[in-house]
Amino acid sequence: MPADANPNGDIFGGWLMSQMDLAGGAHAFTAACGRVTTVAVDAMTFHRPVQVGDQVSCYCSTVRVGVTSIAVKVDTWVRRRHDRTEEQVTEGIFTFVALDDSGRPRPVKGDPS
């Protein structure tokens, strides 16, 4: 939306990063079988700008699983509004820690599927 953009019509990087964090968190929640929280963004690369009106999609994959943590690679692509072309715009690695009901780190249980 225009409120999320600079005067040139490019979406703010922080907005895009928050969408990636949401996608990565959903992926980590499933992989950890429960609550997780973001503890780090280990890498972030912005390849191309996202423009107002672009359709944004985030694709996640597990990079590594530790005792209490999960690293998730998030690749972000857009479908351009003006010509429907698709291109990768951003990628990053987000690290999440699994939490128990008290909000303390817990062992990752693993995907039940």
- Specify burial of residue 38 (Cβ count, 10 A radius: 0-12, 13-18, 19+): middle
Tokens of 90: 């951003």
Domains within the chain, CATH numbers bracketed: 2-98 (3.10.129.10)
pLDDT at 112: 44
Query: pLDDT band for position 110 (50/70/90)?
Result: low
Whole-angstrom distance, CA of residue 22 vs CA of residue 87: 20
pLDDT digits (tens, 9 = 90+) for 19-59: 999 999 999 999 999 999 999 999 999 999 999 999 999 99
pLDDT digits (tens, 9 = 90+) for 29-40: 999 999 999 999
- Is the pTM of the predicted complex or chain greater than 0.85? yes
